[in-house]
Amino acid sequence: DEPERQCPICLGEIQNMKTLEKCRHSFCEACITRALQVKTACPMCGRFYGRLVGNQPHNGRMLVTKDSALPLPGYEKFGTIIIQYVFPPGVQGVEHPNPGVRYPGTTRVAYLPDCPEGNKVLGLFRKAFEQRLTFTVGTSMTTGRANVITWNDIHHKTNCTGGPQL
């Protein structure tokens, strides 16, 4: 006889056992269904299930061009991928710190070497942008201004010649 298993969510006997595919933790089907509606991660180990979506404003655009005559330091044999992020002004939604408060538009420019590694990173940047993870609305760490579009911890090269441009 196999011992009865306790659900780590309700602490009762597991009913209609559901085992998560990636981490193999088991729960009552009803308990894990409710838990995954709140957060798409295993309540035991935090392993992510589903598609991560951020709170970047919906109305932004990511424009990509290439300049074969502009090399980046350390990649002198290659041209440069230029990424321009453009956001018009808007109003914060319920997912932002101050719903209903306006934020100004902004344009940000980033650079990658036009080499296999740079193009791979460009693909990851596109995916992050499509999933609304690249930017957020909040207080700028650079200027201290509140209610502005800010980078959301996905680091980009913002200067062609060296370190970060402020």
Question: Could you tell me the CATH number of the domain that includes residue 15?
Answer: 3.30.40.10
The predicted model gives 4-14 an average pLDDT of: 92
pLDDT at 165: 53
Q: Quick one: which of 61, 58, 64 has its CA closest to 132?
A: 58
Write the CA distances from 65 to 38, 55, 75, 82, 114, integer angstroms. 39, 26, 17, 5, 10
Biggest CA pair distance of the chain: 72
Output the CA torsion sign for 71, 72, 77, 80: negative
> Which domain covers residue 14, as residue numbers?
1-50
Residue 160 within any structural domain of the chain: no
**47 neighbors 73 (Cβ within 8 angstroms):** no
Distance separating alpha carbons of residues 161 and 58, to the nearest angstrom: 31
Q: Among 12-26, 42-56, 65-79, which is the least confidently predicted range?
A: 42-56
Q: Does the residue 157 lie in any domain?
A: no
The amino acid sitting at 87 is: F
- 39 lies in the same domain as 67: no
Bridge partners of 87, per DSSP, are 106
Taking the alpha carbons at both ends of the chain, their separation in whole angstroms is: 66
> 164 pLDDT exceeds 70?
no
Does residue 32 sit in the same domain as residue 105? Answer: no
Burial class (CB in 10 A: 0-12, 13-18, 19+), 149: buried
Q: How many domains does the chain have?
A: 2
* Contact between residue 81 and residue 119 where contact means Cβ atoms under 8 Å apart: yes
Q: Are residues 45 and 65 in the same domain?
A: no
Q: How many helices (H) and strands (E) does the chain have?
A: 2, 9
Query: What is the token pair recorded at 124?
Result: 């990851």
Q: What are phi and psi of 26, to 5 degrees?
A: -115, 145
Tell me the pTM.
Answer: 0.73
- Whether the pLDDT of residue 5 is over 80: the answer is yes
Q: What value does the mean pLDDT take over residues 63-76?
A: 96
